[in-house]
Every structure is written in C-alpha cells, then in structure tokens.
Amino acid sequence: MAAAWDLTALINAADPKAPRAQRHLWLARLLEWLRDAPAGDAPRASPLPVVRLRHLLGVLDRDAALRQRVQRLLLASWREVDAASALAYFGFGARASFGGELLARVGRKMIPGTPDTDDLAALLELLFRPSDAAWIEAIDDETLARLGALIAPPDTRLRDALAEAIAMLSAALHARGFAPELRARMDPARLLNRPFRETGACGERLRAALQAGRLEEALREATLLRALLDACREAARSVRGHLDASGISVGIIYQLEQIRAWADRIELLLDAVLAPAPAREWRRLVLSLLAVQAEQRGVRALLGRHYSQLARKVAERNAETGGHYITRDAAEYRQMLGRAAGGGAVIAGTTFVKFWITALGLGAFWTGFAAGLNYAASFVVVMLLHWTVATKQPAMTAPAMAASLPVGRDPSDGEIEGFVDRVAQLIRSQAAGIIGNLALCGPIVFAVQWLWSLAYGSPLVGTEEAEYVLHSLTLLGPTALFAAFTGVLLFASSLIAGWAENAFVYHRLDSAIEWNPRIVAWLGASRARRWAAWWRANISGLAANVSLGMMLGLVPAVASFFALPLEVRHVTLSTGQIGAAIGALGWPAWQQPALWWCLVGIAVTGVLNVTVSFWCAFQVALRARGVQVRDRARIGRAIRQRLRSRPLSFVWPVAPMR
C-alpha cells in the first residue's frame, strides 16, 4: 500500500500550469518511482519498473481526471521542447568534427544540466539512464500500447517532429557527402547516381508529404530514401579501401561513423512514422537513443572507437616493419648478430658524448636536450647504416606477432604451432640483438678508456664519473623501475613512428616532394624523385629514432622540473657506461660488490626494456585488430611443450622436428 500511496501523492502533484522546470522535475520523479526497487525485493516475472508502469496505467485508467491532468502536463512539455532536433541528433551530435564532439562531451561531463530547458535531448539526459533499456525492452505489447495512448500528443505534433527529424538528417547527409576529404577518397562508381545529393531532396519531399497527410506519396519517397541510404553507406564504406594508400585521419573516421549513424537513425525514424502500429517501432527508437546515450556519456568510448582504426593502421605499418626484425633461420640470425654488433659500436661513441655533455655543466633542460640530440643522432646513424639497436625491436615485432595469433573458438593445432614458432623466432631475435649490441658496446668503451690511459696517463672518463655510474646503475636502487619506464618510451616511439608515416601518406608529402614546382626547381626532377622515394621509405624509422632519442634525453629533464626523480635505463647505453667505469677504475672495480650489482642490473634492464615495450605494443595490436585469443590455455601448453622439447629453438635457429 505504501507504493500506491506514494504514487497517489506523486500524481496529485502533477500540475500542467506549473513552470517548465517543475514539470520536468515531476517527470524525473515519476521515472525514479518506476525504477526504485525496494531493498530485498524478491525476483519477479517482469522487472519492477514494468510492474509499476502497469499499476500507474491502471490508476490513471480508473480516474479520468487524474489521467487528463497527466496528459495535459505531457502536452505542455511537448509544446515547449524542440523534439525534432533531439530525435535527429541525440546521441551523436551535429558536430562537424571529432574535436568539436570531444569538447562537447567533456563539457557535458563537467557542466551540470538543468531541468529548465526546451532541449529535448537535455531533458532525456535528465530523465533516462542507459540501464533503463533493460526494463523498457521487457514491456509487453499490451502495456506498450496503453503507454503510447497516454504519452502521445493528440494532434499531429509527434508526426511532424519525426518528419522534420528525417529531413534534418537527410540534409546533414547531403552536406557530409560533399566534404572534400571524403569525396576525394570515395569510389567514383559509388557516386554516379549522386546518392548524397538525392538524399537531401528526397528527405525534404518526404517531410512535405507527411506533414500534408499524403501517405501514398510518403511511402514512395520512403522507399526511395531507404535505397539512397544504402547507396550512401556503400559510398562511405568505399573510403576505407583507400585509406591504405592515402593514410587515415581521426576526422575522416568520425565523419564516416556519422554517416553510418545518421543513416541508421533515419531508418528508425521512418519505421516509427510509417508503421500502422508504431508502438514497437517507438520502443526500438527509444532503445536506440538509450544505447547512444550510454556511448556519448563517456569520452573514453569516443576516443576508443575513433582511434581504433588509426591504431590498427599504425599496428599494421609496424607489423610490416617488424617482420624484418624476426629471424627465421641461421643465416638471418647471424645477420641480426652482425647488425646488432654494428649498432653496439655506434652506441659506444654515444656513451662518450653523453659523458662529455654531462661534464659541460649545462642546466637540466639543456643537458637533457643535448643528450636527446646525441641519442637521436646515434640511432639515426644506426638506421642509415642498416644496423640495429635491440631494444627498438619489440615495439615493431609485437604487431607482427599479433597478426599471427590464432583466433576463433577452436584454433587448429597447426595454427597454434605456427604461433609458437613465431614466439621462438621473436625471443631468439631479441637475444641476438641484445648479445650483438652488448658484445661490442661495452668492450669498445673499455678499450678506448684503456688506450686513452696508456696514451695520456688518465682515462677519458674519470674515476668520479665511474663511481657515480656504479652508484646509479646498481640493481639495489630504482634501476628496475626506470628500466620499465624506458620500455614505455620505447613503445611510445613506435606509436610516433606509425603516426608520422600515416601523416606522411595522408598528406601525400612524397608526391609533394616529387612534383611541387618550387621543390623541383631547387632539387631538380631526378633528385626530387629520389628524395620522395627515400623519405617515403625512411620516414617511419626517422620518426622512431628521433622521437626515442629526444624522449630519453628530455623526459628526465622535464620530470625534474616537477621534482620527479625520473631517469631512463637503456640496456645498451647502460652497458657502455659500465664499460667506461671499469676502464676508469681498472682491476679493483671487479672487487667491488657495486659492480656485480650493476651487471645484474644490466640483465634486468634488458629484460624490462624488451618485455614492457613488447607487452604495450602487443596489447595495442590486439585491440586494434579486434583479436581475442579464445584458447589461451592451449597456447600456453604449446609454448611450455616447446620449451621442454626444443629449448634451444628459443636461442638459436634449429631445424623443425619431423
């Protein structure tokens, strides 16, 4: 009886003549009453809101005066709100750009709403929750028809709002189809019948027919409009086929998503306005609005949906590059050792420049900036000489690994075995890279120190710097944490590389270099062609190496500005510093426990650099590709079986078992 008494008090409070804010608050309280389940409420055949809705309708059916009062309140609200705009754009906005929609969502999260509004979209945000979809879907047909008879306005106001919403979205599709960045990438064959142009005109004719009550004409225009919407979707889908060659943009992805969403919304509105018994179609429309309401409430959903395609393209580009870092046979393994040895020799020189920069005594920022330039220049030299730095490999090889993951509910034994082969190839490739780097970097630095001592009586790097190295690189300090953080920077450089290459392709900079009149006049036609090809082939590597070097130098400097004691630990650079310390301290260095802790720290640094970078890149590749490994236990057993049966395959290429 308490629930009935609460409902009676609530209905008696309905005042059609109340100010707009009070009427809207009354509607909000009514919905709260519907969904307010008492604690410990027993399970029932129908959700509690549906049960309470039936009770509400029963009370109003028995009291004509109360029913009329509620209907007048609803009609007053209908007259004051802009229903057409809400029906058209609720959930995905009329913003023309991704940035505009992002800022709008941030604003909605930070700025509180008010019930004193004529915006139906804002009112729906106040009244409904995404969780209401469950009980609305559970409403039976009889209750749904009774509810429609209660809330629908008695005149043509609702039909006119639907017709206006269809016309608004059709006009928006018309305009979006003429966006230059989309039209240039659409398949010309999909535009021969001018679907976007005709959609706008057809939507306007349909609106006029509906508002004039010409049903047969409206049905003909609706049939034509549905066909045009299919053509618009096909034209939009054709854009994705051009993204491989022309690059990808978050703005383009956002506009493609809008075209799809607008077309789907028009279909729902057509069903609602043309159906003989529209109650079910209205429920579908409301459920669709609640679904997009759930999406639009979060910024994360917007970023995740629109950046997934960009992440996929970055992952695919890195997968193409990463395939070259995986050794499959003994010849490729030896080649990797040689390339890594060359990289280690270059990093040996980088180590001495780093000590020299530190000795200059510059400010924190300029020391970090100079160190970043030193690292970046060294990494670029390694790249141009076709050598390698081992820690850069995992972020590139992880997408290639994700591409070979077995997917599906029941991957075959052959698929799993192929993936295990890929894992073994990756691990031994990393081992070869690190061994090659360290085998030359540390010994070369030590040799230079020893020879400099013979020639000039003291090492190039002094004992004071050597003691600092042993103090800072020991495993007993924060080395492990710094090494893991460096792995994140290694991963970030791979993302920057993918984004830079995508932007290079998207803006067609290779074509600009080859054909721009001023560039051709400066370089000459043949040299411009060579430069265009060179930049297209090397932009990813340059972006990765320069960004990594600058981050290794600048991030600690910037962190120190905020009093964060953050440093980087790169396994090859750290090995060079250890070689310099041994060369400065001589044989007594081996008698210090600090040196042995530093050597253990080098091993931990190498593991963390590689594993953190690989894990981050692997997760991005999995999400971007939509891959779900459904049989992780089988894959884990297969890897463990390989470790037991052929452990050497993870270190050296061995012939497969027959």
What's the mean pLDDT when you consider all of the chain?
83
Q: What is the pLDDT of residues 27-46, one digit of tens each?
A: 999 999 988 755 444 445 67
- Give the domain extent around 44: 1-80
Write out 268-317 in H/E/C secondary structure. Answer: HHHHHHHCCCCHHHHHHHHHHHHHHHHHHCCHHHHHHHHHHHHHHHHHHH
The answer to whether residues 373 and 318 belong to one domain is yes
CA distance 224 to 597: 76
Residue 613: the pLDDT is: 83
CA distance 258 to 98: 10
Q: What is the pLDDT of residues 160-204, one digit of tens each?
A: 999 999 999 999 999 988 888 888 888 888 888 899 999 999 999
- Which one is predicted more confidently, 125 or 316? 125
CA distance 622 to 630: 13
- Which one is predicted more confidently, 349 or 310? 349
Q: How confident is the model at residue 579 (pLDDT cuts 50, 70, 90)?
A: very high
The answer to whether residues 326 and 357 belong to one domain is yes
- Which one is predicted more confidently, 494 or 536? 536
The answer to whether residues 333 and 475 belong to one domain is yes
CA distance 448 to 440: 12
Per-residue CA distances from 245 to 200, 254, 334, 505 (Å): 31, 19, 35, 7
The answer to whether residues 551 and 577 belong to one domain is yes
- 364 domain residue, yes or no: yes
| Boundary-marking domain end, from 59, 80, 101 | 80
Give the dihedral of Cα atoms 632, 636, 642, 648; nearest 10 deg: 120
* The length of the chain, given as a count of residues: 658
The answer to whether residues 76 and 86 belong to one domain is no
- 636 domain residue, yes or no: yes
For residue 584, pLDDT over 70 is answered with yes
Residue 541: the pLDDT is: 84
- Which of 247, 305, 259, 253 lies closest to 510 in space, CA to CA? 247
Residue 566: the pLDDT is: 92
Give the helix ranges, DSSP H, for 364-404. Answer: 364-384, 393-403
Cβ neighbours, 10 Å, residue 637: 13
- 443 domain residue, yes or no: yes
- Which one is predicted more confidently, 101 or 413? 413
- 611 domain residue, yes or no: yes
For residue 558, pLDDT over 80 is answered with yes
Residue 8: the pLDDT is: 80
- 655 domain residue, yes or no: no
Residue 42: the pLDDT is: 44
The answer to whether residues 524 and 511 belong to one domain is yes
The answer to whether residues 36 and 127 belong to one domain is no
- 305 domain residue, yes or no: no
Q: Work out how many domains the chain is built from and give that number.
A: 3
Per-residue CA distances from 395 to 325, 445, 620 (Å): 10, 28, 10
- Which one is predicted more confidently, 495 or 201? 201
The answer to whether residues 72 and 178 belong to one domain is no
The answer to whether residues 322 and 237 belong to one domain is no
CA distance 252 to 231: 18
Encoded tokens for 62: 């028995």
The answer to whether residues 67 and 93 belong to one domain is no
Q: How confident is the model at residue 626 (pLDDT cuts 50, 70, 90)?
A: low
- Which of 81, 63, 84 lies closest to 73 in space, CA to CA? 81
CA distance 333 to 341: 12
The answer to whether residues 128 and 56 belong to one domain is no
> Would the pTM of this model clear 0.75, i.e. be above it?
no
| Boundary-marking domain end, from 21, 45, 80 | 80
CA distance 531 to 152: 68
Give the helix ranges, DSSP H, for 457-478. Answer: 463-472
Q: Which are the contacts of 82, defined by CB distance < 8 A and separation ≥ 6? A: 118, 119, 120
Residue 279: the pLDDT is: 80
Contact between 428 and 653 under an 8 Å Cβ cutoff? The reply is yes
CA distance 264 to 270: 10
Contact between 547 and 492 under an 8 Å Cβ cutoff? The reply is yes
| Boundary-marking domain end, from 56, 80, 104 | 80
For residue 636, pLDDT over 80 is answered with no
Looking at the DSSP assignment, which residues form a beta bridge with residue 635?
A: none
Judged by DSSP in three states, 388 sits in coil
Domain of 584, CATH number, reads 1.20.1080.10
Least confident of 9-13, 390-394, 561-565: 390-394
- Which of 220-234, 285-299, 307-321: highest mean pLDDT? 220-234
- Which one is predicted more confidently, 383 or 1? 383
- 656 domain residue, yes or no: no
Q: What is the pLDDT of residues 145-154, one digit of tens each?
A: 888 888 887 7
Q: What is the pLDDT of residues 397-427, one digit of tens each?
A: 555 555 566 655 566 667 777 777 877 777 7
- 75 domain residue, yes or no: yes
The answer to whether residues 95 and 56 belong to one domain is no
CA distance 367 to 355: 11
